[in-house]
Amino acid sequence: MSTIDFSALDALDQRDPLADKRQLFVIPEDTVYLDGNSLGLLTHATQQRVAEVTRQQWGQDAISSWNKHQWVHLPRLVGDKLAPIIGAATGQVICCDSISVNLFKALSAALHLQRQRGEQQRTKVISTRDNFPTDLYMVQGLEQLLGAQHCHLQMVEEADLLTAAEDLFDAETAILLVTEVNFRSGRRLPVAELIRKAHAAGVLVIVDLAHSAGAMPVRLDEWQADFAVGCTYKYLNGGPGAPAFVYVAQRHLGQFVQPLAGWFGHAQPFAFEPRYEPAPGIEIMLSGTPSVLAMAAVDSALDAFAGVDLAVVREKSLALAEAFLQQLAASGLATEFECISPAAAERGSQLSFAHPQAYAICQALIDAKVVADFRAPHYLRVGFTPLYTSFRDIGVAVEQLTHIMREQTYLQPQYQKRHAVT
């Protein structure tokens, strides 16, 4: 007998101000999808837009589309569409490349800004040990390229950043590279407060919004962030490998060099001048030709956010997580699954649970058409995407999990053998 109170969950769905948004998405058949924190779902509009761009723009209008369909301006148009979602005024956000590549540009630019200010001794980049590895690798790559005397990484514990940030920022510190929401635990760091402390110590801040953009209110301008990066393939539903974004505060534009100085970042790309002259605005962050099909997908996916208040998104995200925890407790699983995510105010839009059999349980859940994911060493992650996750979804997910645990389905050999990479 199921312990899930589906009528209570259905009542929550009926009162949900975002319920109408679900119909904008292609929901995989008979599936509960709790992995929007890794890959967001496709919208019907995006499916049509990509078909249309392929059929008409590429197929018929071909090269004229660079002007006729504004292909050449897509990075900026998409950036400006994204700006309000992350609390930025227009002209400071551009859509391009991956988070990794944009971080290379932002890190180099911030180091250069410190030198421009006469702060040559500021060569240290502080980040958290449990940050998403690519962020740390990008700093390590720069360290190898420039030499440790010009750039070096100091990894700190999240707890130390929370309790003693002032002690970490010394006269050598150039940059704080901080990811707002930890990909493994879901812990959300107080970015506004960290920026205040960093600035008081002369430190510039780069924020990684991979697990924030589209999931909660972000206020880059209000926070006075210096740079930010983020992806569009998670909560913004731009598609697998969709181009990322980069934000540069208006006050820094025109003040730094960007080392990946490609022709799309030139003041006049189509003048084909032999000498590089950077674009005066946010286009300086561009390097090469935009991926038009991918960017068209992001552009149309962002339409799902039209008229959406991100405070409402956040409220629903926390209510979905709360419903998950309640149903888990009602099913008698709360002690077996140790929740490693912090309390509501200090977490993002996911819950992570430690369990020695997390990998096998996750595979069994996926086979039962509940898509969650696993992160080493032994965490089961469930992500909530308020635009399409329903409260009923939560009930079905916990019901399946209860069944898998009761029947010990996860002990079957096909679930015990590790094969999946993501």
Size of interface with ligand PLP, in residues (CB under 6 A): 13
Minimum distance of ligand PLP from residue 230's CB (angstroms): 8
Residue 373 DSSP SS3: strand
Q: Which amino acid is at 3?
A: T
Q: Which amino acid is at 119?
A: E
Q: Report the partner that residue 422 touches, choosing among ligand PLP, ligand 3DJ, none (CB closer than 5 to 8 A by kind).
A: ligand 3DJ
Pick 383 or 395: Cβ nearer ligand PLP: 383
Residues at the interface with ligand 3DJ (CB under 6 A): 38, 132, 183, 210, 422
Residue 358 DSSP SS3: helix
Cα–Cα distance between 153 and 175 in angstroms, integer?
Answer: 10
CA torsion 322-325-326-327 (nearest 10°) is 120
Minimum distance of ligand PLP from residue 231's CB (angstroms): 5
Q: Report the partner that residue 206 touches, choosing among ligand PLP, ligand 3DJ, none (CB closer than 5 to 8 A by kind).
A: none
Reference 98, options 208, 262, 196, 249; nearest CA is 208
Show contacts with ligand PLP in window 155-194 (CB under 6 A): 179, 183
Q: Report the partner that residue 244 touches, choosing among ligand 3DJ, ligand PLP, none (CB closer than 5 to 8 A by kind).
A: ligand PLP
**Residue span binding ligand PLP (CB under 6 A) among the ranges 56-64, 129-137, 308-316, 370-378:** 129-137
Q: Which residue is associated with the tokens 């924190």?
A: 37
Question: Checking DSSP bridges between strand 373-375 and strand 338-339, what pairing results, if any?
Answer: unpaired
Pick 210 or 360: Cβ nearer ligand 3DJ: 210
Q: Is 179 annotated as a binding residue?
A: yes
Cα–Cα distance between 370 and 358 in angstroms, integer?
Answer: 14
Query: Is 233 among the catalytic positions?
Result: yes
The DSSP secondary structure of 33-46, one letter per residue, reads E--TTTSPPPBHHH
- The separation between CA 182 and the C-alpha centre of its own chain, rounded to angstroms, equals 10
Q: Is 99 annotated as a binding residue?
A: yes
**Residue of 97, 208, 226, 373 marked catalytic:** 208
Cα–Cα distance between 99 and 242 in angstroms, integer?
Answer: 10
User: Which residues lie below 8 Å from residue 274, measured CB to CB, with a gap of 6+?
Assistant: none
**Residue of 76, 105, 234, 316 marked catalytic:** 234
Token pair belonging to 157: 């514990």
**Residue span binding ligand PLP (CB under 6 A) among the ranges 3-11, 139-147, 206-214, 344-352:** 206-214
Cα–Cα distance between 39 and 128 in angstroms, integer?
Answer: 24
Cα–Cα distance between 73 and 335 in angstroms, integer?
Answer: 53
Query: Is 132 among the catalytic positions?
Result: yes
Query: Is 208 among the catalytic positions?
Result: yes
What is the chain's length? 422
Q: What is the dihedral sign for C-alpha 115, 119, 122, 127?
A: negative
Cα–Cα distance between 299 and 74 in angstroms, integer?
Answer: 8
- The DSSP element (H or E) to which 100 belongs, if any, is helix 99-116
**Residue of 373, 381, 388, 415 marked catalytic:** 381
Q: Is 100 annotated as a binding residue?
A: yes
Q: Is 134 annotated as a binding residue?
A: yes
**Residue span binding ligand PLP (CB under 6 A) among the ranges 24-32, 115-123, 208-216, 318-326:** 208-216
Show contacts with ligand PLP in window 53-112 (CB under 6 A): 98-100
Pick 327 or 363: Cβ nearer ligand 3DJ: 363
Judged by CB under 6 A, the residue of 132, 227, 324, 388 near ligand PLP is 132
Judged by CB under 6 A, the residue of 231, 333, 362, 382 near ligand PLP is 231
Q: How far, CA to CA in Å, does 169 sit from each of 144, 281, 395, 421?
A: 23, 30, 46, 37
Q: Report the partner that residue 97 touches, choosing among ligand 3DJ, ligand PLP, none (CB closer than 5 to 8 A by kind).
A: none
**Residue of 33, 227, 233, 379 marked catalytic:** 233
Q: Are 173 and 141 in contact (CB under 8 A)?
A: no
Q: Is 289 annotated as a binding residue?
A: yes
Minimum distance of ligand 3DJ from residue 175's CB (angstroms): 21
Query: Is 117 among the catalytic positions?
Result: no
Minimum distance of ligand PLP from residue 352's CB (angstroms): 13
| Residues acting as catalytic residues | 132, 208, 233-234, 381
- Please give the residue ranges that form the binding site for ligand PLP (CB under 6 A): 98-100, 132, 134-135, 179, 183, 208, 210-211, 231, 244
Which residues are annotated as part of the binding site?
Answer: 99-100, 132-135, 179, 208, 211, 233, 263, 289
Please enumerate, by residue number, every residue annotated as part of a binding site for pyridoxal 5'-phosphate. 99-100, 132-135, 179, 208, 211, 233, 263, 289
